[in-house]
Amino acid sequence: MPGKDALLIIDVQNDFCPGGALAVAEGDRVVPVLNRCIDKFRKANLPIFATRDWHPEKTSHFVTGGGQWPPHCIRGTRGAEFHPDLKLGNDVVVISGGTGPDEEGYSAFDGKDSSGAALADLLRGRGVERIFMGGLATDYCVKFSVLDGLKEGFKIVLIEDAVRGVNLQPGDSERAISEMVRAGAQKIKDQSFLPL
Ligand code: VGL
């Protein structure tokens, strides 16, 4: 794997996993796949970023504030925590999104680290040119993050077996993947780059 690669893990939080407030079917199935990716990137000393939906209690993103979604990923709650089996460590940069009362926060590129730095600047600062992405949910945060990453000029590789979708309408995830590929994303299964 060339030195200009990074791993970006999107919103693998309890509320998006089975039993959570906005559970994605099989959401937890991405965890072992992403853990193998984390091992690879960690061993190769390549940067790893993990985003989290980090909402206030009251936001126009929730049905309770006039939006579309049941309350989920309210910061400070268990639902907002990363899935406990995800092998995150101190070396992983956490990016928080949807923090304002009027923010949908779908795209990782609207998120910030703990010092307020934007994701694109952090990536460029590390010399990243290509981003491997996986997480939740295919048809929302993953899709918007992939499309924004391409607009920002990064090469994007979608790890297909490391994503799951909400599928409010049947087929939303497949349509989202087609849209990402049409926009210029490459898609792979993690096994295809694991034995480096
Ligand atoms: C997401 C729906 C609502 C996501 C966030 O992380 O994909 N989906 N909020």
Quick check: 196 pLDDT over 50? no
pLDDT of residue 193: 66
The response to whether residue 136 sits with its C-beta less than 6 Å from ligand 1 reads yes
Contacts of 102-107 with C-beta under 8 Å, sequence gap 24+, read 102/59, 102/60, 103/59, 103/61, 104/61, 104/67, 105/53, 105/54, 105/55, 105/61, 106/140, 106/141, 106/143, 106/144, 106/145, 107/141, 107/144, 107/145, 107/147, 107/148
* Ligand 1 closest atom vs CA 142: 7
The response to whether residue 104 sits with its C-beta less than 6 Å from ligand 1 reads no
User: How many angstroms separate the CA atoms of 180 and 186, rounded?
Assistant: 8
Mutate to test the pocket of ligand 1, among 10, 11, 107, 168 (most ligand atoms within 8 A of CB): 11
| CATH 3.40.50.850 correct for 5-192 | yes
Quick check: 141 pLDDT over 70? yes
| 19, 71, 182 from 55: Cα distances, Å | 19, 9, 31
DSSP labels, 10-73: E--BGGGSTTSTTPPTTGGGHHHHHHHHHHHHHHTT--EEEEEE-B-SS-TTBGGGTSSB-S--
Quick check: 70 pLDDT over 50? yes
Q: Judge if pTM exceeds 0.85.
A: yes
- Look at ligand 1, atom 8, and give the residue with the nearest C-alpha: 140
The confidence band for 192, taking pLDDT boundaries of 50, 70 and 90, is: low
- Tokens 């391409």 correspond to what residue? 150
Quick check: 67 pLDDT over 70? yes
pLDDT of residue 3: 66
H/E stretch holding 119 reads: helix 119-125
The response to whether residue 8 sits with its C-beta less than 6 Å from ligand 1 reads no
The response to whether residue 163 sits with its C-beta less than 6 Å from ligand 1 reads no
**Average pLDDT value for residue range 86-111:** 97
Model pLDDT for residues 116-137, shown as the tens digit of each residue: 999 999 999 999 999 999 999 9
Structure token pair of residue 130 = 């290509």
Mutate to test the pocket of ligand 1, among 106, 167, 177 (most ligand atoms within 8 A of CB): 106
Model pLDDT for residues 30-54, shown as the tens digit of each residue: 999 999 999 999 999 999 999 999 9
Asked, as a colleague might, if the bond just before 23 is cis with ω within 30 of 0, I would say: no
Model pLDDT for residues 12-30, shown as the tens digit of each residue: 999 999 999 999 999 999 9
Half-sphere exposure of 182 (CA within 13 A, CB side): 7
Find the 196 Cα to ligand 1 centroid distance in Å: 32
Sequence spans of domains, the chain: 5-192
pLDDT of residue 189: 87
* Ligand 1 closest atom vs CA 13: 6
Mean pLDDT, the chain, integer? 95
* Ligand 1 closest atom vs CA 137: 7
pLDDT of residue 2: 55
User: How many angstroms separate the CA atoms of 54 and 73, rounded?
Assistant: 6
Find the 144 Cα to ligand 1 centroid distance in Å: 10
Show Cβ contacts of residue 195 under 8 Å, excluding neighbours closer than 6 positions. Answer: none
